Amino acid sequence: MSGTQQRTAMGAQEVAYDFEQETSSARVFPVRFLGMGLFIAWLSCTHISLIFPGPGCDLDARTAFDMGMRVGDIGTFVMLALPARRIGVLSRHPSTCFALAALCAAGTAFIGLVAMPAGLHYNLIFAFSVPTAIGGAVLFCLWGQVYCSMGMTQAIVDGALSCIAALAMSGLVAVLKPPFAVIATALLPLVSMIAAALSLRVLPLERPADLSQRYPMPWKLLAIMAIGSFIMGASSLFMDNADYMGSIHRVLATGVFGTVVLGLAWLHRDKLDARTLALAALGLAVFSLVLVPFARGSLGGAVSFTAKFAFVFFTFFVLLVVVGIVRRFEVPSLRLFAVTRIATELPLLLGLLLMRAVRGSGVLDSLSMRVIVALVGLVLVLVCVVIWKSEASVNADWGAQGVGIATNVHEPGPQEVFLARCEALAERYGLTARESELLTLALQGKTRSQIEQELYLSANTVKTHLRHAYGKLGVHSKAEAAELLESVE
């Protein structure tokens, strides 16, 4: 065996050993999806005026709060992205994370219980809202790290469950009377932070960035995300009561999405692919835009809901792609998730500003103008498809894998080498996608019980798939399979 082959085999063995050590205490932990669900619920509740601060609120004060939160959110992601290499792994700064989550909770409570009810000047409400958003931005990136520590099946199922939990929690908060609805909303980020900390205790810790590499951004993927966010931000153009119904549509779309994906994960366990979510988003977006020329009255609400439903599908898909990039190519998660969020929130803000500038002006009363808007939207969707097709040759990394600073060439790390060898072994011996997935987890040192929990499969199903995989490989144990893996070039 050549020196390169020896290093490759040693890399595969190293990964298997590390996973065995790190996941020895892993178990099904419901705080993963509940905690993320609470974070999404906080985002939802703070954007629904009927909940925060409650019925009869000053809509101009709500607008000031909303703008302050969005500006603070985007600004924080910029401040996280720029020094991300210096910050390193976000979970290594627990005191700072807890302090910012507490600031977020305190700011939410102050604005909802004091600032808006007391009729403070709009500029003051805006100013208090900006720092309140900081903890929410940090929580998003921290939950991004949590999901990057899961397998893809876990990420899909737990993500779907978190969407359902967000709808349930938002509904629960909505039935509370003032001021309890605001108090409950204010507690959500703090409880979500606790859940994130508990989750990270039982998941593998992210590896620090390799200082000898630079990590490009998946700009084409982010461009598609930005176009979708802009369309979603402007999707309430044709709807009455958009100031609060748009946010209600978004949380409803989130809950319905979670239910649909959970059903798909149950019915098509062996075939569910992240790309399915992108195709669903594309179809929904086109359907929503086709409705635009007829968007009067109730159809205006249909356009808003369908566009938001498509956006949730596509956002979830992009996050899964980011999770896959981080896991396979060992890309640091903080900068990637922060920039992804900027690509979401900034175009969304621009879309909202466009909606507020146009709505009520009478510009969209004519059929011809609505047809033009629909055609512009369809052209933007077509641009997304063209960008997507241009990346057909890229192997799931969208150009985001690390590149050596000195060599300007990608140098595969142990995890990428290990996964590539597992895929080559599966292709050589004709393993099914599920057999390959289970074999890879087994070779990472995970027990059958851990594999059952990660893939949400029964003990018999895991045993059957592993037995079939071993049979095709002509081996009788995990050790023999590991030896066979070493021979794969």
Q: Which fold has domain 412-486?
A: Arc Repressor Mutant, subunit A (1.10.10)
Task: Please answer whether residues 318 and 225 qualify as being in contact, where contact means their C-beta atoms are separated by less than 8 angstroms.
Answer: yes
- Is it true that the peptide bond before 53 is cis, omega within 30 degrees of 0? yes
Phi-psi region of 399 (alpha: psi -120 to 50; beta: other; left: phi over 0): left
Q: In this predicted structure, what is the pLDDT of residue 267?
A: 78
Q: Which helix (H) or strand (E) holds 255?
A: helix 242-267
Beta bridge partners of 214: 403
Query: CA 70, 339, 401 angle in degrees (round to 5)?
Result: 165
Strands (E), 201-332: 213-214
Neighbour count for residue 168 (Cβ, 10 Å): 15
The pLDDT, as a whole number, for residue 27 is: 45
Helix (H, G, I), strand (E, B) or coil at 58: coil
Q: What is the pLDDT along the chain (489 residues), one digit of tens a residue?
A: 333 333 333 333 333 323 333 333 344 456 677 899 999 999 999 988 888 988 888 888 988 999 999 999 999 999 999 999 999 999 999 999 999 999 999 999 999 999 999 999 999 999 999 999 999 999 999 999 999 988 888 888 899 999 999 999 999 999 998 899 999 999 999 999 999 998 888 888 888 888 889 999 999 999 999 999 998 888 777 776 656 677 888 899 999 999 999 888 877 766 666 777 888 888 999 999 998 888 776 788 888 889 899 999 999 989 999 999 998 899 999 999 999 999 999 999 998 888 878 876 777 778 898 899 899 999 999 999 888 888 765 656 888 888 988 888 888 888 889 999 999 999 999 998 888 989 999 998 888 888 888 888 888 988 999 999 999 999 988 888 999 998 876
Using alpha carbons, list the distances in angstroms from residue 94 to 88, 139, 190, 196, 222: 13, 11, 13, 10, 29
Give, as one character, the DSSP assignment of residue 404. Answer: E
403 SS3 class: strand
**Burial class of 185 by CB neighbour count within 10 A (0 to 12, 13 to 18, 19+):** buried
- E-assigned strands of 204-255? 213-214
| Domain spans of the chain, in order of start | 25-156+168-205, 218-407, 412-486
Q: How far is CA 256 from the centre of its chain?
A: 16
| Fold for the domain defined by 218-407 | Growth Hormone; Chain: A; (1.20.1250)
**218-407 with 412-486: one CATH topology?**
no
Tell me the three state secondary structure of residue 282: helix
The full length of the chain comes to 489
State how far the Cα of 117 lies from the Cα of 119, in Å rounded to an integer: 5
The closest of 19, 31, 153, 13 to 452, measured between CA atoms, is: 153
Query: Which DSSP string do the residues of 425-452 spell out, in sequence order?
Result: HHHHHT--HHHHHHHHHHHTT--HHHHH
What is the structure's pLDDT at 246? 75
- Among residues 236, 237, 240, the alpha carbon closest in space to that of 250 is found at 236
DSSP code for 177? P
